[in-house]
Structure 1
Amino acid sequence: MTEELREHVAEELLRSRARSTALTDAVDEHDLVRQHSKLMSPLVWDLAHIGNQEELWLVRDVGGREPVRSDIDEYYDAFKYGRSVRPELPLLNPKEARQYVGDVRGKVFDVLEKVPLQGRRLVENGFAFGMIVQHEQQHDETMLATHQLRTGEPVLHAPAPPRGKLVPATEAFIPGGPFEMGTSDEPWALDNERPAHTVHVDAFFIDTTPVTNAEFAEFVLAGGYDDRRLWTEAGWEHRTTAKLVAPRFWQREGNSFTRTAFGVTEPIVPDEPVVHVCFHEAQAYATWVGKRLPTEPEWEKAARFDPETGRTRRYPWGDGEPTELHANLGQRHLRPAPVGAYPAGVSASGVHQLIGDVWEWTSSDFHGYPGFEAFPYREYSEVFFGPDYKVLRGGSFGTDKSAIRATFRNWDYPIRRQIFAGFRCARDA
């Protein structure tokens, strides 16, 4: 089993690095060192940061080896310098960054070959390696968002997602009662997903699909952005200050809309989930249709609970790992798939596309579960707990399968729109 685990870890490390390489090789050196938005780091910072985290945890901590480049630690500490000032730091240039991450990876494979994967919580079941795989894939999704913000000719290409299929019902009923939320036994689950605990959720209805472009366009055309009654006080203040009139990257031409994605401008696809909306926009739309956003426990119960058996699943479709038949993940496509495109991924309650396509805003603030324990460091989750951040669930088309589970929790400021976020609505039963 240990050798199988080592092989699995090695495959995941190689797979994540191939994606990082593709995202950084797609542009020239000018684009790598340039800041495409104050919200994002230069791509070359993300690349070297990936290597630095790998060095800190796998080379120095797990492996007990000498540092590769301790002189650069402070420049790649995400908490020491915010994104807006990172271009001013003495960063590694593209050639140096590539050399650095390659040197670190060579030592990591040596550590992986020799270190016991047991006897210490950090290495049990390969956790530290899994944490670093997920970290790299999370930054790959961040780099993909940076690509979306860059201007110029398209440099990323992918086939179109599968076509949508008719979804027979617009809502699914989720019965009231307890279910097991979170996990205590998923080997690579991160600290904020733990521990498993019982949560009671009242009966509710949830949309069987995410809100689509066509549905959201109706909200825009009906004057939803100008109707103060639909917005909370904080939402209206942000909508006014930021001058929001439509989802980010949309352009209006009369009563029709186009969207620019990765350098390509085209009419919005009506049955694709809307993407690049902030929490406040999602909340205003939900109010407009007489519904609300689901709470985080409601979202997870809709995704994992099987009403027939009372069992909580790993994924909406069961316990098996995601495949290309289940969900739109891993940057296979550069856009959300039309609703109904993944019937094999439907939940036991008949809810579609809960994994992949778009991160889904919930109404819940980001907090630790009862019995939460920070591991292996407070800065992964605990320092973000509180009312400033809203929880998003389910992953997007840019999320890798190694970095998403039905228990996985993402969080961001409610004003963020550069992330690949959409939503679905719910209502009381």
Structure 2
Amino acid sequence: MTDQLRSLALDALTRARDRTAALTSCVDDPDLTAQHSPLMSPLVWDLAHIGNQEEQWLLRQVGKGEALRPEIDSLYDAFEHPRAARPSLPLLAPAEARIYAADVRGRVLDILERTAFEGGPLVDAGFAFGMIAQHEQQHDETMLITHQLRKGPPALSAPAPPAHDTGPLPREVLVPGGTFTMGTSTEPWALDNERPAHRRIVPAFHIDTTPVTCGEYQAFIEDGGYHERRWWAAEGWDQIRQHDIGAPLFWRREGGTWLRRRFGVSEEVPPDEPVLHVSWYEADAYARWAGRRLPTEAEWEKAARHDPHTGRARRYPWGDSDPTETHANLGQRHLRPAPAGSYPRGESPLGVRQLIGDVWEWTSSDFLPYPGFVAFPYREYSEVFFGGEHKVLRGGSFAVDPVACRGTFRNWDLPVRRQIFSGFRTARDAQPAGPDGDGR
């Protein structure tokens, strides 16, 4: 088991570092040190921050070694310096940041070889190594967002997702009411906000079989959705009026055609692809316009994990096995979502598709702790974000690596955020049963 865990950790760390290298080697130094949006850090900050977190947790905590570069800890403290202020800091230059991250990684691999994976929650089952691999992949996704915001010619490329011609799908499915197990107490690399497993009662509801598409969202735009106050939460209405928002981020209209900018390429908006780069307010307004609503976080997880035939909660919609390229659009293999209805092998027992990968899905829920939550290994990962300010997103996107995506994984962000790879699907309450028991 120890050798298997060591191999898993090595693979996760290596895959993350290979992706970091690809995201930072495809542009020159001025692009690495520039701030492409005040919402994001310079790419070189993310690069050195990745190395610094690895040093703090794996060299100092797990390896019990001396600090390698303690003088830069404050520079790469995400809570000490907001993103907009980071370009003014005396950051490591690109070459020095690469050398530093590589030096840390070399020492970490030595620690990995001698770690026994037992003796405390930080090392049990290789948790700290999994945590750092997830942290790096999360920053890789952040850097990919920066690449999307970056102006100039394309720096990245990837093939289109494979076609899946599986015929028409029903718009929605019924998820039966009752209890299910939410969260986890057994997933070895699950983060603190996913824990502990607990029982939830969820009334019956209907949920879309696929995320809302660009074509469906265009109908909302064409129907004047951005100009009808009644569809919008008060703060969302103020946001779109203040910033003159009338379509998803990166969309523009030329004549009768909607175009979008995607990683430096201008292209026609594909109507069958899940809509991307919409805020929670936009998702909520669309759902109201459609006579529906956003699913709660518990509804989303029940649709994704609950097996009504056995009553157990799966790791993923398709079962307990790790995702492959036939299950979901993950790992930056493709720089776009797959068409709605793709990945039939990844559907849930009830027939819901693309719950994992493609687009992060906004839910209606605030980011709150589960009953019995315990912060680990530090409060700043989850606890300081709990409350009504942040909304929960679920499912991951094409930009998420499998190590940082599972049926229990929770993401969160401010409801105004649009630069993230966010989409949504809708839900509605199940009709109460009529006299004949058929719900009509």
TM tier, smaller: over 0.9
Q: How far did residue 187 of structure 1 move? A: 0.2
Is the Cα contact below 8 Å between 2:169 and 2:341 reproduced in 1? no
Q: Is it true that 1:74 corresponds to 2:99 in the alignment?
A: no
Q: How far did residue 108 of structure 1 move? A: 0.3
Change (3 A) 1:164 1:257: farther
Match of residue 356 from structure 1: 357
Match of residue 89 from structure 2: 89
In structure 2, distance between residues paired with 1:345 and 1:4: 26
Q: Supply the RMSD in Å over aligned alpha carbons.
A: 0.7
Match of residue 241 from structure 2: 240
Q: Is it true that 1:25 corresponds to 2:22 in the alignment?
A: no
List per-residue Cα deviations over 1:351-408 (Å, max 9, x = no partner).
Answer: 0000000000000000000000000000000000000000000000000000000000
Is the Cα contact below 8 Å between 2:192 and 2:375 reproduced in 1? yes
The code of the aligned residue for 2:330 comes to L
Is the Cα contact below 8 Å between 1:221 and 1:255 reproduced in 2? no
Choose 280-289 or 233-242, whichever is displaced more. 233-242
Is the Cα contact below 8 Å between 2:280 and 2:416 reproduced in 1? yes
List per-residue Cα deviations over 1:84-127 (Å, max 9, x = no partner).
Answer: 00000000000000000000001101111112210111000000
Q: Is it true that 1:11 corresponds to 2:11 in the alignment?
A: yes
For normalisation by structure 2, the TM-score amounts to 0.97
Match of residue 112 from structure 2: 112
In structure 2, distance between residues paired with 1:111 and 1:295: 42
In structure 1, distance between residues paired with 2:26 and 2:8: 27
Match of residue 160 from structure 2: 160
Choose 247-256 or 175-184, whichever is displaced more. 247-256
The code of the aligned residue for 2:261 comes to T
Match of residue 182 from structure 1: 183
Match of residue 254 from structure 1: 255
Q: How far did residue 54 of structure 1 move? A: 0.1
Structure 1 spans left out of the alignment, 5+ residues: none
1:11-410 to structure 2, matched below 5 A, reads: 11-165=11-165, 166-410=167-411
In structure 2, distance between residues paired with 1:253 and 1:423: 26
In structure 1, distance between residues paired with 2:341 and 2:211: 10
Structure 2 spans left out of the alignment, 5+ residues: 431-440
In structure 2, distance between residues paired with 1:276 and 1:7: 36
Q: How far did residue 340 of structure 1 move? A: 1.4
Q: How far did residue 164 of structure 1 move? A: 4.3
The code of the aligned residue for 1:39 comes to L
In structure 1, distance between residues paired with 2:400 and 2:153: 24
Is the Cα contact below 8 Å between 2:392 and 2:411 reproduced in 1? yes
Is the Cα contact below 8 Å between 2:249 and 2:419 reproduced in 1? yes
Identity of aligned residues (%): 65
The code of the aligned residue for 1:171 comes to E
Is the Cα contact below 8 Å between 1:331 and 1:398 reproduced in 2? yes
In structure 2, distance between residues paired with 1:196 and 1:406: 12
Q: How far did residue 282 of structure 1 move? A: 0.3
For normalisation by structure 1, the TM-score amounts to 0.99
Is the Cα contact below 8 Å between 2:169 and 2:209 reproduced in 1? no
In structure 1, distance between residues paired with 2:243 and 2:110: 50
Is the Cα contact below 8 Å between 2:346 and 2:353 reproduced in 1? yes
In structure 2, distance between residues paired with 1:254 and 1:350: 38
Is the Cα contact below 8 Å between 1:36 and 1:149 reproduced in 2? yes
Is the Cα contact below 8 Å between 1:164 and 1:271 reproduced in 2? no
